[in-house]
Chain A
Amino acid sequence: MTSPHLILVADDDPDILQLVVFRLQRLGHEVLTASNGQDALDLAREWHPALAVLDVSMPGLTGYQVTEALRSDPETTAIRIVLLTARVQDADIQRGREVGADAYMTKPFSPQELAGQVQELLGEIQPVGRT
């Protein structure tokens, strides 16, 4: 088991949210949850998680917008970001790259793959402790 990190998960679909949370908790991480973009942004600014798993299509702010906001703020720019989306058009994937996400996973994704992706991203950065 790796060292625990604080991870933010945001998805407006409670089932998927629970699925991701369960998987990440099993890896030993601490998880913050949000069901819309604004909450996700507020939590990220308050808690500075090591990584954020964001759904693209959320009410209020989209995952793209949250990513852009986090990247433009020096306080939060280091947060690793994984975008989850059911949008598979090439233009959407392109958009994901442009806003600066570290990884882009299309739904349906395998929770195991997501876990692998998260661990890989976390292994690359220095663990960020809770503030």
Chain B
Amino acid sequence: MIPSLSIPRAQRATVGFLAVGVVVLIAYELTESVWLETALVLALTLATFVAVAAVARRAGIRSAWTLLAASSALWFAGWIRWQIGVLQTGAPPVSFSVADALFMSSYVLLVGGLLKFVSVREPRGGGAVESAMIAVVAALASWLTLIGPALEHDVLVGEAGWTQAAYAILDVLIVAVLARALLGTLRDTAYLLLLGSIVFLLAADSAWNWLYLAGSYSAGGYSDLGWIAFSILMGAAALHPSAGDLARPIAVPRHNNWRRLAVFVAAGAALPALFWLEFLTGVHELDSVVVDIGKTVLMALVLTRAFMLLGESERLRLTLAEQNTELKELDRLKDEFVASVSHELRTPLTSIRGYLELVREGEAGELTADQDDFLAIVDRNAERLLRVVGDLLFVAQLDAGALPLERALLDPAQLARQAADSARPVADERGIKLSLELGRLPDEFSGDETRLAQALDNLVANALKFTPSGGTVEVRAAASNGSVELTVADSGPGISDRDQQRLFQRFFRTQEASDQAVPGTGLGLAITKAIVEAHGGTVGVSSEIGHGTEFRIILPTAA
């Protein structure tokens, strides 16, 4: 049995290309045959070109992939000329050759393609100054190790020296663009593979250049492996399903400001570090016009960024101050709105209920029994409407700010007794046995009596609403270490676990409550919770389908 590899179908091409690439790498390194090496390199670079060209075709002629496809084509062509030299003389063609022209053109297009990716993916992404800092440091390092030595080389004179220097300069450009990409949003596997391929290209170029200047480069050696890896990763990137997405803007860029800040700090520290290095070692080889220019540019970049950061923070401060003013104004408008809605809803309700009362008292003539019954229904519904208005306004007030409490010392037994007493008429009417059980309680504790009564009334009213005739509702008050527990237990149908989790959300109503048209707005429990929490307490529910429901308010007495 072959163990099944769980590679998504869409990614098989990428993984396959990488696997074949590793085989090519090993074969290239192990074989002694120049012909086999030539065949492997050309086959691989051609395959990469085909893969990249295929994406470019899909992504459109104006996409960054088109530039990379052209770059890959030149890269493949360059290798043909290079390998002809190796096959004929055992060494690459002497600089400056057609191979160099092709490779260098390939690099220019590669830089263009990468720049296009960066600018399309994140049109307003930052990091330009930081990537310039990295480029300057890379240029300085390259000047000291590659460019300078190439230009002043004893053996490589004229064209040969300039050619090596030109490769190093192109590599610095590539570093600059790579840095820009790495400081942006790092996502999409194809993008990561692409950036990874560039790292290998830079490593191979630097190794080759170094060895070449030292006179110890030989074709087919370890240093070539970086170029092969570059082609492999580039091809794999093109074959990945996310390749097409790279040419599109990222919807939500994730700017990594820490990465940018790290570069800024490192660049700022680079100059003093260089100074102390020279001072402590007594070596002043770094004193050259080019290095001085590099230092100056780096310093200018650091100062530029510092100014930009100051400007940004000032702009942010102003924006915040502006938003703060707007928020306060909005808050005021909201308070005003709540007050005027309250007024507009309550005024007509006053007339409705007031005149109903007069009519039902017989002030406008005797009523028949039916007339009185019907008007009682009108009155009940007007009252219900009033309660809804009250609940809505309460919630709006909660949104406008914390719940103001008028704390005073109150008797917990009295609180429970009043809740039970005021619910008794409804319980009797509905044939529900309402009982009160008072445990050992502290004489008094601090709380807002009106609010707490409202919180408890909501629970009792709910219990009565959902308990069928013949059932029981029990109001209990008890004390336990430093707190008062007010419990309302009913023998109703119970609440499912799923509904229990959402019970205290505003406007949430159980399916059963809606189906059976049990009156309510879904605000009662949210209000109870807000009141209890404003007192530093908690409210919880335990229930089982078919076995009733129990709500418990726990209030700290040491408040």
A residues bordering B, Cβ < 8 Å? 13, 15-16, 19, 22-23, 26, 57, 86-90, 92, 106-112
Judge whether B393 and A90 touch: CB under 8 Å: no
Judge whether B404 and A90 touch: CB under 8 Å: yes
Query: In angstroms, how far is the closest chain A Cβ from the Cβ of B266?
Result: 57
Judge whether B363 and A108 touch: CB under 8 Å: no
Report Cα–Cα, A22/B363, bound state, in Å. Answer: 10
Query: In angstroms, how far is the closest chain A Cβ from the Cβ of B316?
Result: 35
Report Cα–Cα, A106/B347, bound state, in Å. Answer: 10
Interface bits B257-288 vs A (CB < 8 Å: 1, else 0): 00000000000000000000000000000000
With A15-B351, A88-B393 known as contacts, the answer to whether A23 contacts B346 (CB < 8 A) is no
What residues on B are CB-neighbors of A111 within 8 Å?
354, 357-358
With A13-B351, A107-B350 known as contacts, the answer to whether A87 contacts B342 (CB < 8 A) is yes
Report Cα–Cα, A109/B346, bound state, in Å. Answer: 10
What residues on A are CB-neighbors of B35 within 8 Å?
none
Report Cα–Cα, A113/B301, bound state, in Å. Answer: 79
Judge whether A19 and B342 touch: CB under 8 Å: no
Judge whether B393 and A107 touch: CB under 8 Å: no
Q: When the two chains form the complex, which single residue of A26, A57, A89 contacts B363, counting CB atoms closer than 8 Å?
A: A26
360-376 of chain B: CB within 8 A of chain A: 361, 363
A sample of 18 more A-B contacts (CB under 8 A), given A88-B342, A88-B390, A110-B354, is A13-B347, A19-B350, A19-B358, A22-B358, A86-B342, A86-B344, A86-B350, A87-B339, A89-B342, A92-B339, A107-B347, A108-B350, A108-B352, A108-B354, A111-B354, A111-B357, A111-B358, A112-B361
**B355 CB–A CB distance under 8 Å:** yes
Report Cα–Cα, A24/B270, bound state, in Å. Answer: 91
Judge whether A89 and B354 touch: CB under 8 Å: no
What residues on B are CB-neighbors of A19 within 8 Å?
350-351, 354-355, 358
328-347 of chain B: CB within 8 A of chain A: 338-339, 342-347
Residue of A nearest to B354 (CB): A19
Report Cα–Cα, A15/B349, bound state, in Å. Answer: 11
**B397 CB–A CB distance under 8 Å:** yes
Residue of A nearest to B341 (CB): A86
**B353 CB–A CB distance under 8 Å:** yes
Query: In angstroms, how far is the closest chain B Cβ from the Cβ of A118?
Result: 14
**B386 CB–A CB distance under 8 Å:** yes
Report Cα–Cα, A86/B352, bound state, in Å. Answer: 14
Report Cα–Cα, A14/B398, bound state, in Å. Answer: 33
What residues on A are CB-neighbors of B347 within 8 Å?
13, 16, 86, 107
Report Cα–Cα, A19/B361, bound state, in Å. Answer: 13
What residues on B are CB-neighbors of A87 within 8 Å?
339, 342-343
Residue of B nearest to A114 (CB): B354
Judge whether B393 and A108 touch: CB under 8 Å: no
Could you show 8 A-B contacts with beta carbons less than 8 Å apart?
A: A13-B351, A19-B355, A22-B363, A86-B350, A89-B338, A107-B346, A110-B353, A111-B358
Q: When the two chains form the complex, which single residue of B343, B354, B357, B390 contacts A16, counting CB atoms closer than 8 Å?
A: B354
Judge whether B343 and A86 touch: CB under 8 Å: yes
Judge whether B351 and A86 touch: CB under 8 Å: no
Residue of B nearest to A84 (CB): B350
For the complex of A and B, list the 6 residue pairs with the smallest distance between their C-beta atoms, beginning with the closest: A86-B346, A108-B350, A107-B350, A86-B343, A15-B351, A19-B354
What residues on B are CB-neighbors of A15 within 8 Å?
351, 355
Which of A89, A106, A112: most chain B CB closer than 10 A? Answer: A89
Judge whether B357 and A112 touch: CB under 8 Å: yes
What residues on A are CB-neighbors of B397 within 8 Å?
89
What residues on B are CB-neighbors of A23 within 8 Å?
358
Report Cα–Cα, A107/B393, bound state, in Å. Answer: 14
Report Cα–Cα, A106/B390, bound state, in Å. Answer: 12
What residues on A are CB-neighbors of B353 within 8 Å?
108, 110
267-314 of chain B: CB within 8 A of chain A: none
What residues on A are CB-neighbors of B345 within 8 Å?
86
Query: In angstroms, how far is the closest chain B Cβ from the Cβ of A24?
Result: 12
Interface bits B376-417 vs A (CB < 8 Å: 1, else 0): 000000000010001001000100000010100000000000
Which of B339, B342, B347: most chain A CB closer than 10 A? Answer: B347
What residues on A are CB-neighbors of B346 within 8 Å?
86, 88, 106-108
What residues on A are CB-neighbors of B355 within 8 Å?
15, 19
Query: In angstroms, how far is the closest chain B Cβ from the Cβ of A106?
Result: 8
Report Cα–Cα, A16/B358, bound state, in Å. Answer: 12
Query: In angstroms, how far is the closest chain A Cβ from the Cβ of B5?
Result: 68
Which of A19, A88, A89, A108: most chain B CB closer than 10 A? Answer: A108
What residues on B are CB-neighbors of A108 within 8 Å?
346, 349-350, 352-354, 386
Report Cα–Cα, A86/B355, bound state, in Å. Answer: 17
Judge whether B358 and A89 touch: CB under 8 Å: no
What residues on B are CB-neighbors of A90 within 8 Å?
404, 406
Report Cα–Cα, A112/B363, bound state, in Å. Answer: 12
Report Cα–Cα, A13/B350, bound state, in Å. Answer: 10
Query: In angstroms, how far is the closest chain B Cβ from the Cβ of A54?
Result: 15
Query: In angstroms, how far is the closest chain B Cβ from the Cβ of A83?
Result: 14
What residues on A are CB-neighbors of B361 within 8 Å?
112
What residues on A are CB-neighbors of B343 within 8 Å?
57, 86-87
Query: In angstroms, how far is the closest chain A Cβ from the Cβ of B380?
Result: 14
Query: In angstroms, how far is the closest chain B Cβ from the Cβ of A75?
Result: 31
Residue of A nearest to B338 (CB): A89
Which of B345, B350, B386, B397: most chain A CB closer than 10 A? Answer: B350
Report Cα–Cα, A46/B344, bound state, in Å. Answer: 32
Query: In angstroms, how far is the closest chain A Cβ from the Cβ of B413?
Result: 27
Report Cα–Cα, A87/B344, bound state, in Å. Answer: 10
Query: In angstroms, how far is the closest chain B Cβ from the Cβ of A61?
Result: 17
Interface bits B499-517 vs A (CB < 8 Å: 1, else 0): 0000000000000000000
Report Cα–Cα, A89/B338, bound state, in Å. Answer: 9
Report Cα–Cα, A86/B386, bound state, in Å. Answer: 12
